[in-house]
């Protein structure tokens, strides 16, 4: 079950997202639904079309269950299916 506490370990596709900060100033404020995720990028569907945002150097506000969490792109810079395995393993070691 996805919650704000374990968001980095789950799939992000289908969640509402806003780019809170980015190394590219033109990407700040982009908001919409995450429709795809790759190793280095998130694709966000906005009312103007799909926007591809690089994870590294960006901060995302992601909404889950009427709560918002700030997620650093560098912390989720894995392939989606690998991230779930790697972060669970790391959490067990903490």
pLDDT at 36: 95
Query: Hey, is 16 helix, strand or coil?
Result: strand
pTM of the model: 0.85
pLDDT at 89: 53
pLDDT at 94: 47
User: Using CA atoms, how far apart are residues 78 and 40, in angstroms rounded to an integer?
Assistant: 7
Q: pLDDT 10s digit of each residue in the chain, 94 long? A: 778 888 888 889 999 999 999 999 999 999 999 999 999 999 999 999 999 999 999 999 999 988 999 999 998 888 877 876 765 555 554 4
The DSSP result for 34-93, as a single string, is EEEE-SSEEEEEETTEEEEEESTT-EEEEEETTEEEEEEGGGG-S-HHHHHHHHHHHHHH
Domains of the chain plus CATH, in order, are 7-93 (2.30.30.210)
């Amino acid at each position: 079950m996805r919650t704000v506490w374990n968001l980095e370990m789950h799939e992000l596709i289908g969640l509402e997202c806003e780019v809170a900060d980015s190394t590219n100033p033109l990407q700040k404020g982009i908001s919409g639904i995450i429709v795809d995720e790759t190793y280095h990028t998130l694709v966000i569907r906005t009312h103007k079309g799909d926007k591809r945002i690089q994870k590294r150097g960006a901060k995302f506000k992601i909404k889950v269950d009427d709560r918002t969490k700030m997620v650093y792109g560098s912390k989720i810079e894995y392939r989606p299916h690998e991230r779930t395995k790697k972060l669970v393993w790391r959490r067990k070691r903490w």
